[in-house]
């Protein structure tokens, strides 16, 4: 039993890492331009397909693939921001929200058009499939890689935001965009960067998603997008550490729910996720680490 729980906890860690990575982008974009970006999950899908393409195309070393997938995600984020969201800058929040739904639908259908709706097997190189056992917990190399990569990227991001000038400019912009502009901060660049970083992380999450579940299709972004949204809200929208915390909490909760309750309940896992969300918001309306909302300017 202890071994079983340990295994479930490890699974929760893996799932939580993926949720956290996607939730960070969600929260960063919301934090800076107050946009609920429903197209964010579709970057996960793009990341998954880019990874598959790179893996199939030849003997590219794994670390290079990771970097290329991050860059591809970042590039997509920049393109989407420039093409869809920048023209909507200053419009009411609802407009941005609907724009993001449109972008999401566009990306999904573009995916179906170019790649067909047929799920594809996610080809994972053998060296990533090696199973090894730690006591009663069994892990594949890729599972370990998912957790390590996620944690490294998150630590890097937190350091960037906390301790660099760039991070300071980002925090200032997130708090008050108009004043930041008056202080000489080029907010277009900061917004672009938030999209690039957030989407880069979502891209990597796509790679992980494919490797973990073995099959990908153009509509796969919906679930991670929704879960990341929930994770971000649980943690407190706009807070990066909150998104991480929310992602891991959600990952653990989901896995433990499925793992510990009788199997007949396991199809209620998503209902369970939303019950957690509702309970947390009842007690803490701004999420676990969220701050009291104040309207800027």
Partner 1 sequence: MPTENALLLKVEGLGKHFGGVRALEEYNLTLRDGELMGLIGPNGAGKTTVFNLITGVIRPTKGHVFFRGKDITHSRPDQNAALGMARTFQNIRLFKQLSVIDNVKVGVHMHHGTGLWATALNLPNLRRSEQAIEERALEILSAFGLMDYKEELAENLPYGDQRKVELGRALATAPRLLLLDEPAAGMNPQETGEIIRLISRIRQEYDLTILLVEHNMKVIMGACESIQVIDRGEVLCLGTPEEIQHDPRVIEAYLGKPKGEGHA
The residues of the shown chain that bind partner 1, judged by CB under 8 A, are: 160, 164-166, 168-169, 171-172, 175-176, 178-187, 189-190, 193, 291, 294, 297
What's the CA gap between 222 and 206, in Å, rounded? 12
Other C-beta atoms closer than 10 Å to the C-beta of 113 total 10
Nearer to partner 1, 1 or 182 (CB): 182
CA 96, chain centre distance (Å): 19
Least CB distance to partner 1 at residue 78 (A) = 13
Sign of the CA dihedral running 108, 111, 115, 119: negative
Give 1 or 297: the residue with its C-beta nearer to partner 1.
297
Task: Give CA–CA dist 250/40, Å, rounded.
Answer: 18
The distance of closest approach from Cβ of residue 20 to partner 1 in the complex, given in angstroms and rounded to an integer, is 22
User: Minimum distance between the CB of residue 63 and partner 1, rounded to whole angstroms?
Assistant: 17
The residues near 259 (Cβ < 8 Å, ≥ 6 apart) are 4, 5, 8, 11
Nearest residue (CB) to partner 1, 6 versus 181: 181
Q: Are 204 and 20 in contact (CB under 8 A)?
A: no
CB of 96 to partner 1, least distance (A): 21
Minimum CB separation of residue 297 from partner 1 in Å reads: 7
Query: What is the bridge-based pairing of β-strands 215-216 and 137-140?
Result: unpaired
166 vs 279 by CB, closer to partner 1: 166
- 185 dihedral zone (left: phi>0; alpha: psi -120 to 50; beta): beta
Q: Which is nearer to partner 1, 6 or 175 (CB)?
A: 175
CA 289, CA 277: separation in Å to the nearest integer? Answer: 14
Q: In the chain, how many H helices and how many E strands?
A: 12, 4
State the nearest-atom distance from the C-beta of 152 to partner 1, in Å.
Answer: 15
Nearer to partner 1, 182 or 264 (CB): 182
């Amino acid at each position: 039993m202890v071994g079983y729980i340990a295994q479930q906890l490890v699974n929760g860690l893996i799932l939580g890492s993926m949720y956290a990575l996607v939730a960070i982008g969600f929260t960063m974009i919301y934090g800076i331009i107050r946009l609920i970006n429903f197209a964010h999950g579709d970057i996960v899908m793009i990341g998954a397909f880019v990874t598959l393409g790179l893996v199939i195309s030849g003997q590219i070393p794994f670390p290079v693939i990771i970097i290329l997938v991050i860059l591809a995600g970042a590039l997509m984020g920049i393109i989407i921001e420039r093409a869809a969201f920048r023209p909507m800058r200053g419009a009411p929040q609802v407009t941005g929200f609907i724009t993001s739904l449109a972008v999401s639908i566009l990306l999904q259908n573009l995916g179906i058009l170019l790649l067909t709706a047929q799920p594809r097997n996610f080809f994972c190189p053998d060296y990533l499939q090696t199973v090894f056992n730690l006591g009663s917990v069994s892990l594949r190399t890729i599972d370990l890689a998912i957790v390590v990569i996620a944690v490294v990227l998150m630590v890097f991001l937190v350091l960037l935001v906390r301790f660099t000038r760039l991070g300071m400019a980002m925090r200032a912009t997130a708090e008050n965009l108009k004043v930041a502009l008056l202080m000489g901060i080029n907010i277009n660049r900061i917004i672009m960067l938030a999209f690039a970083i957030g989407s880069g992380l979502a891209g990597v999450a796509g790679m992980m998603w494919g490797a973990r579940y073995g099959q990908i299709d153009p509509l796969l972004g919906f679930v991670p997008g929704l879960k990341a949204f929930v994770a971000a809200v649980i943690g407190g929208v706009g807070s990066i550490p909150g998104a991480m915390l929310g992602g891991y909490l959600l990952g653990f909760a989901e896995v433990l729910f499925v793992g510990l309750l009788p199997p007949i309940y396991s199809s209620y896992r998503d209902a369970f996720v939303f019950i957690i969300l509702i309970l947390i918001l009842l007690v803490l309306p701004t999420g676990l680490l969220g701050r009291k909302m104040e309207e800027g300017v």
